[in-house]
């Protein structure tokens, strides 16, 4: 049976609904393990206007249910990225690249997008308003409707490419803040980023992470994020990319079932490098077993 795994998000056509979460897969380092041409899309690590060293170590700790990280958006800055990395990425002729954009002010987000507009390999922008490990800017913006509105509008004014706003999960009303992003010009949403968390050491009586708090990701967050995706899909007519706790094809399929158009794999990329390929294969097997020829026939078919 010939299978159709293709999906479309805000006019962006993907060969399948599986992509990585930003910061968890570098196609230039891991192409021998995971061919980026086989993924629905590749979301690159978040870029800021200027280089960032990130937070001091320790900045990642394993917990029973996943990991807590406080990386701090370490990157070389958009100018250096365009100069050094973009020429190397061009060899992946069949890959669909999405740029991840971060900033400390709405204007900085807009400036990064403006700098990337001349780079033809990027087909969309994911706006990382919700990275929860910055000492200023990011945290407040992720939880503040006005900041979400300002950032989205600023970015929207710089591009005609799809704008995907990545939201924080630990907000009072995910639908309300999602609506703010959509009304401000977001074409799609990624739900969601990591959950603010704290890990402490009993012996020293100190936080383990240098930055005190970090973001929890991994299997523990999947049922919570699944609910968030369901609520937004039910309330708003906007494409949703689901991200949170996916460890298997079944996890990915659950997100598609509740209405997500695509999924992002994050923490599991550190555990099993070929997990995204395995998930694509698992989705294909499910489709064959269930007699589903087109994945779009399955998306959003939850019976309630």
132 confidence band (pLDDT: 50, 70, 90)? very low
Is the overall model pTM greater than 0.85, yes or no? yes
Tokens of 233: 């899909």
Identify whether 192 is preceded by a cis peptide bond (ω within 30 of 0).
yes
Domain count, the chain: 1
User: Is residue 213 a part of any domain in this protein?
Assistant: no
3-state secondary structure of 242: strand
User: Is residue 249 a part of any domain in this protein?
Assistant: yes
Q: Which residues are annotated as a binding site for FMN?
A: 22, 45-46, 128, 166, 218, 244-245, 266-267
Residue 101 has pLDDT above 80, yes or no: yes
The whole-angstrom separation of Cα 246 and Cα 83 is 34
The whole-angstrom separation of Cα 188 and Cα 243 is 13
User: Is residue 204 a part of any domain in this protein?
Assistant: no
* H/E run at residue 9: strand 7-9
124-133 CB burial, b ≥16 within 10 A, e <16 = bbbbbbbbbb
Q: Which residues are catalytic?
A: 131
Tokens of 107: 């204007």
User: Is residue 304 a part of any domain in this protein?
Assistant: no
Q: Tokens 């870029």, residue? A: 47
* 284: containing domain: 7-54+72-196+218-297
Q: Cα torsion for 291, 294, 297, 301, to the nearest 10°?
A: 70
When the pLDDT of each residue in the chain is averaged and rounded to a whole number, the result is 96
User: Is residue 302 a part of any domain in this protein?
Assistant: no
User: Is residue 145 a part of any domain in this protein?
Assistant: yes
User: Is residue 153 a part of any domain in this protein?
Assistant: yes
User: Is residue 109 a part of any domain in this protein?
Assistant: yes
Could you tell me the CATH number of the domain that includes residue 22?
Answer: 3.20.20.70
The whole-angstrom separation of Cα 135 and Cα 301 is 41
Q: Which residues are annotated as a binding site?
A: 22, 45-46, 69-73, 128, 166, 193-194, 218, 244-245, 266-267
Q: By percentage, how much of the chain surpasses pLDDT 90? A: 93
In degrees and rounded to multiples of 5, residue 25 shows phi and psi of -155, 125
Asked if 42 contacts 98 with a C-beta cutoff of 8 angstroms, the reply is yes
Q: Which residues are annotated as a binding site for substrate?
A: 45, 69-73, 128, 193-194
Who's near 219: CB < 8 A, 6+ residues apart?
A: 65, 66, 245, 247
141 confidence band (pLDDT: 50, 70, 90)? confident
142 confidence band (pLDDT: 50, 70, 90)? confident
């Amino acid at each position: 049976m010939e299978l159709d795994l293709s999906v479309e998000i805000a006019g962006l056509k993907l060969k399948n609904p599986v992509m990585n979460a930003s910061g968890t897969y570098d196609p230039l380092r891991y192409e021998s393990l995971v061919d980026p041409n086989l993924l629905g899309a590749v979301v690159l690590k978040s870029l800021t206007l200027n280089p960032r060293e990130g937070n001091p170590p320790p900045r990642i700790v394993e917990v029973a249910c996943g990991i807590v990280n406080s990386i701090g958006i370490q990157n070389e800055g958009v100018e250096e990225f365009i100069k050094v990395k973009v020429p190397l990425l061009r060899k992946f002729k069949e890959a669909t690249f999405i740029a991840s954009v971060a900033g400390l002010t709405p204007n900085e987000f807009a400036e990064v997008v403006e700098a990337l507009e001349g780079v033809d390999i990027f087909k969309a922008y994911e706006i990382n308003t919700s990275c929860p490990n910055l000492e200023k800017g990011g945290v407040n913006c992720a939880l503040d409707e006005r900041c979400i509105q300002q950032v989205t509008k600023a970015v929207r004014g710089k591009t005609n490419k799809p704008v995907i706003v990545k939201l924080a999960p630990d907000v009072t009303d995910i639908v309300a803040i999602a609506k703010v992003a959509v009304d401000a010009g977001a074409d799609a949403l990624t739900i969601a980023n990591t959950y603010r968390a704290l890990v402490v050491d009993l012996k020293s009586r100190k936080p383990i992470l240098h930055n005190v708090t970090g973001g929890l990701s991994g299997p523990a967050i999947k049922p919570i994020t699944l609910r968030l995706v369901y609520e937004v899909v039910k309330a708003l007519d906007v494409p949703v990319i689901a991200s949170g706790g996916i460890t298997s094809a079944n996890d990915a399929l659950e997100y598609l079932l509740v209405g997500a158009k695509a999924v992002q794999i994050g923490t599991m990329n550190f555990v099993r490098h070929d997990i995204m390929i395995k998930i694509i294969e698992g989705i294909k097997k499910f489709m064959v077993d269930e007699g589903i020829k087109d994945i779009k026939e399955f998306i959003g078919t939850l019976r309630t």
